[in-house]
């Protein structure tokens, strides 16, 4: 009878350890998943902030460079792409939109270089400084997001979590990678 009781206690102990491990693993994955969602939200907030600055910047430059219509249209389209529902929901779509945005904003700043009066305009300088600050915040948010994705993906792929993670509803997330990473390593600069 005593050996049966010992066997029962061992079995109950093993089951309890397995349940505690599964509970701990699940909660760890939930925590990482929420952290990645929070980081993506930070990115979208900064992208929205930047998108809100662009119309003011365009209007300031427009006052000096009225014949540069194509540049303004391209910047407007690129701005709309960065805050589109697709870009706000998917890192891959956001990366494509970022590439287009950086090309368009460089064109806008190239136009600005041709107008010395604009270069001295306090409103333009203030908007440029805010845009540079926002670009820095976007880079920081991207790093935080990619760090969270790295942690989540690592935990999901490690044994023995990889056996249970998909069954628990967790999947690897995509990094926020831009196709032309050299174009976004530094905020846009303007040479006056």
Q: Which of 55-64, 74-83, 126-135, 167-176 has the lowest mean pLDDT?
A: 55-64
* Ramachandran class of 43: left when φ > 0, alpha when ψ lies in -120 to 50, beta otherwise: alpha
* In the predicted structure, residue 188 carries a pLDDT above the cut 80: no
32-45 pLDDT tens trace: 999 999 999 888 88
Positive or negative CA dihedral for 150, 155, 158, 164? negative
pTM: 0.67
The domain ranges of the chain are 2-184
CB–CB of 190/156 below 8 Å? Answer: no
Top CATH class, 2-184 = mainly alpha
104-128 pLDDT tens trace: 888 877 777 777 776 667 777 787 8
CB–CB of 47/87 below 8 Å? Answer: yes
């Amino acid at each position: 009878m005593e050996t049966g009781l010992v066997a029962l206690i061992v079995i109950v102990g093993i089951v309890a350890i397995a349940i505690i491990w599964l509970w701990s693993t699940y909660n760890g994955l939930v925590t990482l998943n929420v952290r990645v969602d929070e980081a993506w939200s930070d990115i979208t907030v900064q992208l929205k902030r930047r998108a809100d600055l662009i119309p003011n910047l365009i209007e300031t430059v427009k006052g000096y460079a009225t014949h540069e219509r194509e540049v303004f249209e391209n910047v407007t389209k690129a701005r709309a792409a960065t805050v589109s529902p697709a870009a706000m929901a998917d890192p891959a779509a956001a990366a494509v939109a970022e590439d287009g945005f950086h090309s368009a904003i460089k064109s806008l700043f190239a136009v600005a270089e041709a107008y010395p009066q604009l270069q001295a305009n306090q409103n333009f300088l203030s908007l440029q400084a805010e845009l540079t600050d926002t670009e820095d915040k976007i880079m920081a948010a991207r790093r935080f997001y990619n760090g969270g994705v790295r942690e989540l993906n690592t935990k999901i792929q490690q044994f023995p979590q990889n056996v249970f993670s998909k069954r628990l509803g967790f999947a690897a997330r995509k990094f926020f990678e831009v196709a032309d990473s050299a174009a976004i390593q530094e905020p846009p600069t303007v040479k006056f």
